[in-house]
Amino acid sequence: MEKNEIILKRQRSAELFEEAKQYFPGGVNSPVRAFKSVFGPPLFIKEGNGCRITDEDDNTYIDFCGSWGPLILGHNNEAVREKIVSTVARGTSFGTPTRLGNELGKLIVDHNRFIDKIRFVSSGTEAVMSAIRLARGITGKSKVVKFEGCYHGHVDSLLVKAGSGLATFGESTSAGIPESFVKETLVLPLNDRKALDDTLRAYAGEIACVIVEPVPANNGLLLQDASFLECLRLKCYKYGVLLIFDEVISGFRVGFEGAAGYYGIQPDIITYGKIIGGGMPVGAYGGSHEVMSHISPDGPVYQAGTLSANPVAMAAGYATLQQLLAPGFYEGQEARTRRLVDRIQHYADRQGYDMHLEQIGSIFWIAFTRQRITRADQIDPAGMEYFKKLHRELLLRGVYLGPSGYEVGFVSAAHTEADLDQAAAIMEEALDVVFAQG
């Protein structure tokens, strides 16, 4: 810690954190920001440009957090910024429909084979909450199946982990959630087809939906074989259960059509967030004409939001998504991310370090094992101690990752090959220090 305090100026961030504790629980407005899993006080960021952020002590970092994923174009993208500013000049919220909402809705629907209609909300959690209600309203059933290792926001019925046994009713992971809510959730391990079939067969008459992150990216990057997702789709058809893809992270990140397009699988409902706000708070859920006709005012499933489709978020989203439609955008993202990952992996292999990197599109994750990880229970908590040290060494050298070893990293369009080469060299140096310490 002494080396950290001498080399990395954190005085102003530390002061701000102490002040923040007077106003906010734990000094933060979202738990992971508290740096509980890594060294030092949280960094207070004052500015971002391109692929770099600068904190209140004037330290600058190459950023691979990107506000937890939405900044696929990098920080302070000129077109997005100008669209936001020009929109704000005319007002920030009206509580009415706007042309900007139509434009963003049309842009998404016109370029996505997997949805006919969409409903905007204000967060990914709200999108998932609304999708679950929709599924229950359509089917008249109440139970939900989710998978261990997938995170779907802080929805009461989904803040649940597996209980004892292979396919069980879950256990709450948060205080304040009634047991009656938890009993409506069944938790299964990822990539276990027998458990899936057994559960659907036993409870099909009670299960409204199965929800999954098709690219699980909130508890490590637990990439699934396409065949498992295809099996999931077929089993839901067989047992009359709706399938929800939670694409709050993967949507517009692994491709414009998200994981549904990447794998070529049609879910019944898809939830989105992050990128379609261009850095502003937003979420959405979509589906077929038939599915979405159940939503009020067309149907009996009620969902509303005062700031849903507010013009500032719609403007930012439109300016962002237009750029994602440029020819070769996603191919370039994948290629640059692969180049970064391959360089670090080759270095780690040469050094004999017990680690590997997972990658899909412009998402990557560092795992401190050589084994492929596809389920949450395969993650060794001891690896988090390695990440804790790595996070400190990277900060010292000017690279920022999200402050948890369970979080993924994101490459943006603003990361040039030169930026990524610099980050890779820093990563190699930091890994040398971490593995030397053991």
Using CA atoms, how far apart are residues 415 and 335, in angstroms rounded to an integer?
Answer: 12
The gap from C-alpha 10 to its chain's centroid, in whole angstroms, comes to 28
Using CA atoms, how far apart are residues 348 and 367, in angstroms rounded to an integer?
Answer: 12
- Asked if 190 and 212 sit in the same domain, the reply is yes
Q: Taking 80 as the threshold, does the pLDDT of residue 2 lie above it?
A: no
Rounded to 5, what percent of the chain is helix, strand, coil?
A: 40, 15, 40
Alpha helices by DSSP H, 63-204 = 78-88, 99-110, 124-139, 179-182, 193-203
For residue 6, what pLDDT band results from cuts at 50, 70 and 90?
very low
For residue 155, what pLDDT band results from cuts at 50, 70 and 90?
confident
Phi-psi region of 361 (alpha: psi -120 to 50; beta: other; left: phi over 0): left
Segment 371-381, tens digit of pLDDT: 999 999 999 99
The question of whether 246 is a catalytic residue gets the answer: yes
Overall domain count for the chain: 2
- Asked if 241 and 200 sit in the same domain, the reply is yes
Q: What is the predicted pLDDT for the residue at 167?
A: 41
Structural domain ending residue among the three candidates 307, 324, 341: 324
Catalytic residue among 274, 285, 400, 419: 274
Catalytic residue among 151, 263, 272, 318: 151
- Asked if 12 and 88 sit in the same domain, the reply is no
State the pTM of this model.
0.94
Q: What's the whole-number mean pLDDT along residues 130-152?
A: 96
Q: What is the predicted pLDDT for the residue at 170?
A: 59
Structural domain ending residue among the three candidates 298, 324, 350: 324
- Asked if 6 and 116 sit in the same domain, the reply is no
Segment 190-247, tens digit of pLDDT: 999 999 999 999 999 999 999 999 999 999 999 999 999 999 999 999 999 999 999 9
Catalytic residue among 55, 63, 246, 268: 246
- Asked if 256 and 394 sit in the same domain, the reply is no
- Asked if 320 and 396 sit in the same domain, the reply is no
Q: What number of residues does the chain have?
A: 438
CATH at residue 212: 3.40.640.10
Structural domain ending residue among the three candidates 271, 295, 324: 324
- Asked if 137 and 273 sit in the same domain, the reply is yes
- Asked if 260 and 294 sit in the same domain, the reply is yes
The question of whether 151 is a catalytic residue gets the answer: yes
- Asked if 195 and 246 sit in the same domain, the reply is yes
- Asked if 267 and 174 sit in the same domain, the reply is yes
Range of the domain at 380: 2-76+327-437
Q: Say whether 364 sits in a helix, a strand or coil.
A: strand
- Asked if 385 and 418 sit in the same domain, the reply is yes
- Asked if 290 and 392 sit in the same domain, the reply is no
The question of whether 349 is a catalytic residue gets the answer: no
CATH at residue 56: 3.90.1150.10
